[in-house]
């Protein structure tokens, strides 16, 4: 398993299909996962620090887990089959619960907990979009802008079917 982080939610044009973009924490590969609009909103809310007046479904799940005396230790993206990403919530006692990747990511950001991706998933669906050169200190913002630009160029030519086995 390779640790990844959520870069953000994007809208792929012209289809207006939301996707969440993950990035290896110690590498250059990115993993785009097409998701539904409600899950995109749930992820974006957390990243933007928006707290709704009433708990959303993912907030409720995190609260129920805590009320039951359990803790989610990590989230794992375990496989991709026909463009469908499968994930697991992993509890501190070792128990795992199957999940859609988008829901697992929304929960992970709320807990918060680490997110891991199976090597095989990154090998099949990961995309290198960063410059090969390492960014020097102070160039972080410029490098991030380049990554976003490169990713937008990548998205202009890719379809969800491109990730089928």
CATH number, domain containing residue 52: 3.10.690.10
pLDDT tens-place string over residues 52-82: 899 999 999 999 999 999 999 999 999 999 8
The total of structural domains in the chain comes to 1
Instruction: Give the count of alpha carbons within 13 A of 73, CB side only.
Output: 8
Distance CA 163, CA 84 (A): 9
Q: Which domain holds residue 130?
A: 2-163
Distance CA 141, CA 151 (A): 15
Please give the model's pTM, rounded to 2 decimal places: 0.78
pLDDT tens-place string over residues 95-117: 999 999 999 999 999 999 999 99
Q: Angle, to 10 degrees, between the axis of helix 37-48 and the axis of helix 101-110?
A: 20
């Amino acid at each position: 398993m390779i640790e990844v982080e959520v870069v953000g939610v994007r809208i792929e044009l012209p289809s207006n299909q939301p996707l969440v973009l993950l990035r290896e924490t110690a590498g250059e590969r990115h993993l785009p996962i097409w998701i539904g609009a409600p899950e995109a909103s749930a992820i974006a809310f957390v990243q933007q620090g928006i707290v709704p007046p009433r708990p959303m479904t993912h907030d409720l799940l995190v609260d129920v887990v805590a009320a039951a005396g359990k803790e989610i230790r990590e989230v794992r993206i375990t496989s991709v089959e026909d463009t469908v990403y499968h994930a697991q919530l992993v509890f501190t006692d070792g128990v795992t619960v199957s999940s859609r990747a988008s829901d697992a990511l929304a929960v992970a950001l709320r807990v918060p907990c680490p997110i891991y991706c199976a090597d095989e998933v990154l090998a099949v669906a990961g995309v290198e979009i960063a410059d090969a050169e390492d960014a020097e200190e102070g160039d972080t913002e410029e490098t991030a802008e380049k990554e976003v630009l490169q990713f937008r160029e990548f998205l202009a030519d890719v379809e969800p079917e491109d990730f089928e086995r």
